[in-house]
Amino acid sequence: MNDPYDPEATEARRGSQYVTKKDFRIAGAVIVILAVAGWPIYIYLLGQVDSSLCNKNMGKIGEALLTYVRDNDDHLPYVYEREGYGSDEIALHDGYAYTWQWAVEPYTTGGWAPFRCPAAEPAEHTKMADPMSGVVEISDYGMPDAYSGRDLSTISNPDQKVIVGDTSNRGALGTYDPLPLTSGGTPLAYDGFEIGFNDSQVYPRLDVVSPSGSIIPGTRSATRLAFPHSADGKFDHESDSRHPGGIHFLTVGGGLLTGDGAAANVIQLTGGFGGLWDVPRPTP
């Protein structure tokens, strides 16, 4: 047994307390390896959190929409303000449209927060203005124009049709926006407040047979949805999306859905449309 005051024993114990440069290098290498290995997990978990928050946003918007409808004789808000009665021209206020979000926001829990997707990048934000106050706000969600001012009770199968979805502005991140919204013939700087179609802003069209017998293609997909790198208009289950596994939708009936890229495709049936984009038509 060593004497507690043995000089050699004391030096041995003292020397064990020092960390060498080699130890630092080893520790640093371990930290780097752990960081590299853990980064994909961190990104995945962050994506899941953002997706959950976005889904909650949709729920709050759905509740606010239903309250708005009850206060407005069962009618949905208009997607944007027109220049005048009977006009489809978008009224602008210092370059910004006055949109459906402004009508719904007074009914939301959390003010404007529910209209902002935590996973959206700045380039995807749409801006809109209140002409009364001059305030400009941002949103990352859009609504099909076919629902503008509609009587909710006249919409069939409300739980099977999209009324709000994750959108991107003006083709940001390579999203699909082949037919930008315009005012006075000039494309708007911010058009992500509306979900449109590849060949129409309001209603999809069926394939038709020309006099020569060839097929004139109708509508193929919805536009401005938050599916990055989809500028070619081709959507399938493997398409990139804002959230892991797809983007979020709110149905007319207030339900919540998540759809991958295939959800952007318009389903053509004999004499009509089916699925998410079977939007209401004008009464003949």
How confident is the model over 183-216, as pLDDT tens digits? 989 999 999 999 999 999 999 999 999 999 999 9
Confidence (pLDDT) at 50:
87
User: What are the contacts of 183-188 at 24+ separation with CB within 8 A?
Assistant: 183/89, 183/90, 183/91, 183/92, 183/97, 184/89, 188/90, 188/92, 188/97
Decide if 148 contacts 78 (C-beta within 8 A): yes
CA dist 266 → 206, 251, 275 (Å): 10, 16, 8
Query: Positive or negative CA dihedral for 231, 128, 243, 274?
Result: negative
Residue 82 CA to residue 89 CA, distance in Å, equals: 5
The structure tokens listed for 38 are: 């853990």
Contacts of 283 (CB under 8 A, 6+ apart): none
Radius of gyration of the chain measured on its C-alpha atoms: 27
> Which H or E element spans position 22?
helix 21-71
User: In sequence order, what E strands does the chain have?
Assistant: 92-93, 96-97, 126-129, 136-139, 141-144, 162-166, 182-183, 186-187, 194-195, 208-209, 215-216, 247-251, 256-259, 267-269, 272-274
Confidence (pLDDT) at 8:
53
CA dist 152 → 45, 162, 164, 253 (Å): 38, 13, 14, 9
Among candidate residues 71, 252, 247, the one with its CA nearest the CA of residue 144: 252
Exposure on the CB side of residue 125, measured as CA atoms within 13 A:
16
Among candidate residues 240, 261, 247, 254, the one with its CA nearest the CA of residue 50: 247
Among candidate residues 198, 171, 189, the one with its CA nearest the CA of residue 95: 189
Residue 148 CA to residue 277 CA, distance in Å, equals: 15
Stretches in the chain below the pLDDT threshold 50: 1, 5, 10-15, 34, 39, 42-43
Confidence (pLDDT) at 39:
43
Decide if 118 contacts 50 (C-beta within 8 A): yes
Round to the nearest angstrom and report the end-to-end CA distance of the chain: 105
The structure tokens listed for 21 are: 């440069």
Residue 41 exposed, middle or buried by CB count within 10 Å (0-12, 13-18, 19+): exposed
Q: How many CB atoms lie under 10 A from the CB of residue 195?
A: 28
